[in-house]
Amino acid sequence: MASIDIKGVKKVYQGNVTAIHGIDLAIGDGELVVLVGPSGCGKSTLLRMIAGLETITEGTIAIDSAVVNSREPAERDIAMVFQNYALYPHMSVRQNLEYGLKNRGTPRAEIDSRVAEAARMLEIEPFLERKPRQLSGGQRQRVAMGRAIVRQPKAFLFDEPLSNLDAKLRGQMRVEIRRLQHRLKTTSVYVTHDQLEAMTLADRLVVMNGGRIEQVGKPTEVYDRPASLFVAGFIGSPPMNLIPLEALKNIVGSAVLKDLPTETDLIGVRPDRMQTGEGEGFVLTGTVDLIEPVGGESHLYLHVEEIAAPLVMVMPGRPDLSEGAVVPIRLPLDALHPFSTRTGLRTD
């Protein structure tokens, strides 16, 4: 168990391609930090630099207060779970779990007890003598986690570990990873592009884009108060509606919108904060284009005369509306997020 301190880390690949433009991040002892962002945002590169699989062009990474820049992955005392599991195909599950410990010269009795412990924890005892190819995807995933757990490392690094699983299994494993991490209290860095996974797992969320950190914070903070247009669009599904301020002024009059910070020219509203009917806040008149029933809730695609892009609204249950209906849509005042298109940042 340890903290991880990332200071001014940059990654420049051959041919002057900069993958990471200077990142500072302090990960506390026992914390589960999720790096989330679209593909190519540098999240995996950052994780691999922590692991020691990529060299660090500039800056320092310290694990447990010791700078590890020039240490081999094995000397950093971290364990990694890969997207494709990377189990050794010719070794049995038991041998897979033991391999790292054997290489470290761990005594036989200690290896056996740790493997037994991890196998019990992950419920993979029945498969210990099987080869990885005889296991299902979910079971392989467990073995990959087991291989990390037996090492009792200072930190776990997860590189999109659930993206090869089907949706149902992914949900189960997500809960299990969370539970396991709470029990073991091992510092963890988890990379994913799935914002739902990121929201549900993270103690702290790091949203990355284009090799930079866009926002760091608790998942709920990031959701409730996105720091930039990128975060607003990336976190939350369906994504936040962004309405040009000019269009909004044309509908509700400029007087009510005058005390917004200068530079504000875009107003964001979460689909689940919009409501039908009159009341406090701004009321727009929209035509229902499409209703998507998603089970417990429904997504409404609305067209508003003055606004070019369709607005998406989430309503609980199945609203008694038909496509083509004209409805009043209320945007509560406290649900509005002001942004500036020029800087891409939040303005309040």
Partner 1 sequence: MVENRPFLAVLTHLVLLAGVVIVAFPVYIALVAATHGPTALTSGAMPLLPGGELFANVMQVLTENRRGVAPFWLMAWNSLWMAVIITLGKIAISIISAFAIVYFRFPGRVLAFWLIFITLMLPVEVRIIPTFKVVADLGLLNSYAGLTIPLIASATATFLFRQFFMTIPDELMEAARVDGAGPLKFFRDILLPLSRTNIAALCVILFIYGWMQYLWPLLVTIDPNYYTLMMGVKRMAAVSDADPQWNIIMAAVLLAMLPPILIVVFMQRLFVKGLVETEK
What residues make contact with partner 1 under the rule CB under 8 A? 51-53, 72-74, 78-80, 82-84, 86-90, 99-100, 103-104, 131, 133, 147, 151
Cβ neighbours for 14, distance < 8 A, ≥ 6 positions apart: none
Q: Alpha-carbon distance 97 to 130, whole Å?
A: 12
Cβ closest to partner 1, residue 115 vs residue 284: 115
Q: Is 190 helix (H, G, I), strand (E, B) or coil?
A: strand
Closest by CA to 180, choosing from 206, 212, 158, 196, is 158
Q: Alpha-carbon distance 12 to 21, whole Å?
A: 8
Cβ closest to partner 1, residue 189 vs residue 335: 189
Cβ closest to partner 1, residue 50 vs residue 245: 50
Closest by CA to 237, choosing from 290, 174, 195, 297, is 195
Q: Residue type at 71?
A: R
Smallest distance from partner 1 to CB 246, Å? 50
Please spell the DSSP secondary structure of 112-173, one letter per residue: HHHHHHHHHHHT-GGGTTS-GGGS-HHHHHHHHHHHHHTT--SEEEEESTTTTS-HHHHHHH
Cβ closest to partner 1, residue 87 vs residue 124: 87
Smallest distance from partner 1 to CB 212, Å? 25
For the chain, what is the largest distance between any 2 Cα atoms, rounded to a whole number of angstroms? Answer: 77
| Token pair recorded at residue 307 | 């606004």
> Is the CB of residue 331 less than 8 Å from the CB of residue 284?
yes
Smallest distance from partner 1 to CB 77, Å? 10
Cβ closest to partner 1, residue 51 vs residue 335: 51
Cβ closest to partner 1, residue 72 vs residue 278: 72
Smallest distance from partner 1 to CB 154, Å? 12
Smallest distance from partner 1 to CB 94, Å? 14
Smallest distance from partner 1 to CB 103, Å? 4
